[in-house]
Amino acid sequence: MQTPDQQQHTAPHDPYKVADASATSAHGAETPAAASTTPSVLVTFGAPRSAQIRPGQRVRLPRLPDTQHPPAVMPPRGHTARTRRRVLQAGALVAAVVIGLVAVIAILSAPGPDPKDLVRAFFSQLTARDTSRLPAAAPCSRNPLCQPGTLRSGYQPPEHLRIESERSQAPSSPRPGTKERLVVVSYDVDGQHLTDAVTVLYQRTGIFSGFWSISDPPGSTITMPKPAIAPITLAAAKLDMAKPEEQTTFWAPPGRYTATRPGNALYEPAEATTIVADTPVTITLPATLKPTLTTHVEQQIHDRINACAAQREFKPDTDRSSPNLHNCPMVHLTPYAITTEPLWTVQRYPTIRLDTHPDGTVTVTTITPGKATIHYQYSLSILDPREWHTIDATYDLTVNGFARDIDGTTEWIPS
């Protein structure tokens, strides 16, 4: 039978066995019961007494090196797949949002048609004779050519459009973000090869957006005579009767234009054509009097002189409604109180000339006076039988005035 000391040496060595410090004292004797409250510590079984930790003793533990880290805690296998799937879904959502924003910005920042396309579209409208979609920069305020259907007739659009060159130039607008291009084009009108320049402007409307537009369209100004004779039609646009202070110059797109003016009792119908390109033009309509106008006016003058000569008066007048207006070209002032009725005889009618004026007025001017003779007798005796004396006097017949169209007929108005 083994002694306790032998049992202690023969017992298996368990390094994790807990030694109860309350069982023995430092000298191996039993401690009082009060010592049972001392906390237990973990020591290696079989360690010498000097290596054992006494109650209340501070123990300095070794510090791990900085290169060592605590082992990672691995999540359960099922949670790893679910987390990866959620991350992929979130990434796909973010990518879709970014792509959508990029698409919206690209749409908003699209400048629309480029300068060459805008120029081609402008000339396509002229080919279709459509002025309803002309660019906003076109000077269409009070412009008769900007009305719908004004190019349907009397107009030949340009043909064989060619873009010759395109270059950048300093913009006339000081606004930031603006750019300007000058597009040089050539085309044919009525067999003539012409060139023109179109200014296209880029305007910024936002941080990422802007657009090109025609700021100076092709074509030039056209000046029309004041349509005082009769209303003038340019292409299919009817021009109103202009007042002297009204502007008769306006912008016209390139092409060949025909201007017409109807005739009246005084003037022949008139027509003129012009080609508009990059230089201002003026249309002049001929003011041609009707060949029979002079004959009509002369006949009215002859009729008036004959009516005046038929009156047995020293101062004949065919219209006595106005005492201040004398419409007969002859008058004789006699100093005698006793006379016979005078007799007028027309020897020759005056020769006249008709002159036209820009406002359409036709004036009548005598270039060779006519001749009229008055014959009468006077007496100085108061009682019969009187003694009569004969007087014959000759006067020049001069007429002036205006020829007018009144309700489609010619009328001479003496002055």
Pairing type for strands 343-348 and 370-379 reads: antiparallel
Count of C-beta atoms within a 10 Å radius of residue 334 = 14
Question: What's at 237, amino acid-wise?
Answer: A
Pairing type for strands 233-234 and 237-238 reads: antiparallel
Element (H, E) at 257: strand 255-261
Count of C-beta atoms within a 10 Å radius of residue 401 = 21
pLDDT given for residue 203 in this prediction = 82
DSSP letter assigned to residue 49: G
- The pLDDT profile of the chain, 415 residues, written as one tens digit per residue, is 444 444 444 444 444 444 444 434 344 444 444 444 545 555 555 656 655 666 666 766 666 565 555 665 555 555 566 777 777 777 767 666 656 554 444 444 445 578 999 999 999 999 999 887 777 667 887 788 988 899 999 999 999 999 999 998 888 766 667 889 999 999 999 999 999 999 999 887 766 668 888 889 999 999 988 777 888 999 999 987 555 445 588 999 999 999 999 999 999 999 999 999 999 999 989 989 999 999 999 999 999 999 999 999 999 998 877 665 678 999 999 999 999 999 999 999 999 999 998 888 999 999 999 999 999 999 999 888 999 999 999 999 999 999 999 999 999 998 8
Count of C-beta atoms within a 10 Å radius of residue 360 = 19
| pLDDT, tens digit, 9 for 90 and up, residues 239-291 | 875 554 455 889 999 999 999 999 999 999 999 999 999 999 999 899 899 99
Cβ neighbours of residue 373 closer than 8 Å, sequence gap 6 or more: 344, 345, 347, 392, 393, 394, 395
Q: Would you mind telling me the total number of residues written for the chain in this entry?
A: 415
pLDDT given for residue 9 in this prediction = 45
User: At which residue do the structure tokens 């209340």 appear?
Assistant: 56
- CA 328 to CA 321: how far, in whole Å? 14
Element (H, E) at 214: strand 210-216
| Per-residue tokens: 91 | 């990434």
| Per-residue tokens: 159 | 């043909």
- CA 216 to CA 118: how far, in whole Å? 12
Measured in whole angstroms, the distance separating CA 29 from the mean position of its chain's CA atoms is 117
Burial of 120 (0-12, 13-18, 19+ CB in 10 A): middle
- CA 344 to CA 360: how far, in whole Å? 36
| Per-residue tokens: 56 | 């209340």
| Per-residue tokens: 152 | 């349907």
Pairing type for strands 210-216 and 192-204 reads: antiparallel
pTM to 2 decimal places: 0.65
| In contact, 178 and 202? CB cutoff 8 Å | yes
User: At which residue do the structure tokens 């007048």 appear?
Assistant: 317
| In contact, 132 and 140? CB cutoff 8 Å | no
Choose among 142, 98, 145: nearest CA to 283. Answer: 145
| In contact, 266 and 292? CB cutoff 8 Å | no
| pLDDT, tens digit, 9 for 90 and up, residues 71-83 | 655 555 555 667 7
Cβ neighbours of residue 93 closer than 8 Å, sequence gap 6 or more: none
- CA 391 to CA 375: how far, in whole Å? 6
- CA 181 to CA 168: how far, in whole Å? 4
